[in-house]
Amino acid sequence: MIPLSVPNIDGNEWQYVKDCLDTGWISSAGAYVTKFEEAIQNYTGVKYAIACMNGTAGLQVSLNLAGVSSNDIVIAPNLTFVATLNAISYSGAQIALIDVCEDSWQMDIDLLQNWLANNTTTKFVNEKPVTTEIASGKKIGAIMPVYVLGGFIDVDKLVEISATYGIPLIEDSTEALGSFKNGKHAGTFGLTGVLSFNGNKIISTGGGGMILTNDKDIANRAKHITTTAKTDPLDYFHDEVGYNYRLVNVLAAIGVAQMENFESILKRKKEIDALYRSELHGVGDIKFQENDTDSDPNCWLFTFRTKKMRALLNHLNSKEIQSRPFWTPMNNLPMYKDLMYINENDISNKIFKECISIPSSSNLTIDDQYKVISEIKNFYK
């Protein structure tokens, strides 16, 4: 079986994990957590990086840091992995879904802008804009864009919207480690951004996440509430309801080793993407995801559109080439089917029915990649 997207464990992972085991530093304290945070800070250029147990937890905590409550509305794209919406659900806030763009498959910012202009009102409280939905009177507590497949949303426009309307931006950049726009890393534009180190991501710690922020107070609070909100190094005094969401040292050790190899992992991802694009261009009705020219995406998971998605999916899987459909759009899931869904042509559902992801692991061999390519070409013959 040629796998879809598996970890590339090719560096000092064994040595650093052994170090944790040999020294007994396997749990919530230990030097690797700080080292991993520093490695992410240095790479992304963000001022503060706070490790946590997974991306979902990072998103949940970010909403708490943004002050989102059950009286608020949080805006998110309809086409995302379910964890984005689950994190919002934990806050109790109402969710408003936005459709995505036909070519980039990313949240449609024009649709968002129109909706805000026609359905909300903005007042100044303590000289800061606060926006509420006219129909419900609920505050718009946050916008949670997603960098689908590590590609870029129009984040510059979102930053402007965030400032005009006073709505914090929490970037679900869980798939976007290594994605830059004009030299700025995904997840460093808003109040916070969140990375994931889940098994299928560009680097993995087995499970893990990282909250990125350039705001010192937010960073301090993120560390505080992800580590049970303990205020004293000795006494068990906790000043609020915190979470035990820290990343353990043994997993951070894997993260440190993965980051040491990150440039070569990223380089392979880009080579794999380039070869698929050149070989599959013009084959059948295949269409690729489009990215803005000023963005440099990480090419995490190669995915394309075809009207024959289901048949191709079955064909490739039957040939031991692991392939996957896209996420079921959120408004098609039972628990999210009644949410407000801002759309004109329900593009999310169209894309979902046509998208297929194919093997893209950074340790995919050239021979295996050519096997995938020739099976796809055979299918369209």
Ligand X SMILES: Cc1ncc(COP(=O)(O)O)c(C=O)c1O
Task: Using CB under 6 A, list all residues that contact ligand X.
Answer: 54-56, 80-81, 83-84, 146, 172, 174-175, 196, 198, 209
Nearer to ligand X, 133 or 208 (CB): 208
Beta partners for residue 304, in sequence order: 288, 356
Select 133 or 326, whichever has its Cβ closest to ligand X.
Answer: 326
C-alpha–C-alpha distance, residues 224 and 221, integer Å: 5
Minimum CB distance to ligand X smaller for 120 or for 331: 331
Shortest distance in whole angstroms from residue 274 CB to ligand X? 23
Measured from each CB, the residue nearest to ligand X is: 55
Q: Cα(59)–Cα(196) distance, rounded to whole angstroms?
A: 10
Distance CA 190, CA 212 (A): 9
At closest approach, how far in Å is the CB of 179 from ligand X? 13
Residue whose tokens read 């070989």? 279
Closest contact distance (angstroms) between CB of 119 and ligand X is 26
Closest approach of ligand X to the CB of residue 196, in Å: 3
Residue 145 tokens, joined: 């864009």
Measured distance CA(205)–CA(31) in Å, rounded: 16
How many Cβ atoms from other residues are within 10 Å of residue 230's Cβ?
Answer: 14
Nearest distance in Å: CB 115, ligand X: 22
DSSP H or E stretch at residue 172: strand 170-172
How many CB atoms sit inside 10 A of residue 22's CB? Answer: 8
Task: Give whichever of 196 and 343 is closer to ligand X, judged by the CB atom.
Answer: 196
Residue 199 Cβ vs ligand X, minimum distance, rounded to whole Å: 9
Name the residue type at position 290. E
Supply 304's token pair: 């394309």
Q: In what order do the strands lie in the sheet with 192-196?
A: 48-52, 209-213, 192-196, 170-172
What count of Cα atoms within 13 Å lies in the side-chain half-sphere of residue 167?
30
Q: 138 vs 329, which CB is nearer to ligand X?
A: 329
**Of 8 and 196, CB closest to ligand X:** 196
- As measured in angstroms, the least distance from the Cβ of 380 to ligand X is 29
CB of 117 to ligand X, least distance (A): 27
How many Å apart are CA 104 and CA 148, to the nearest integer? 9
CA distance 28 to 221: 18
Nearer to ligand X, 7 or 55 (CB): 55
CA 371 to chain centre: 29
Q: For residues 84 and 131, which CB has a smaller minimum distance to ligand X in the complex?
A: 84
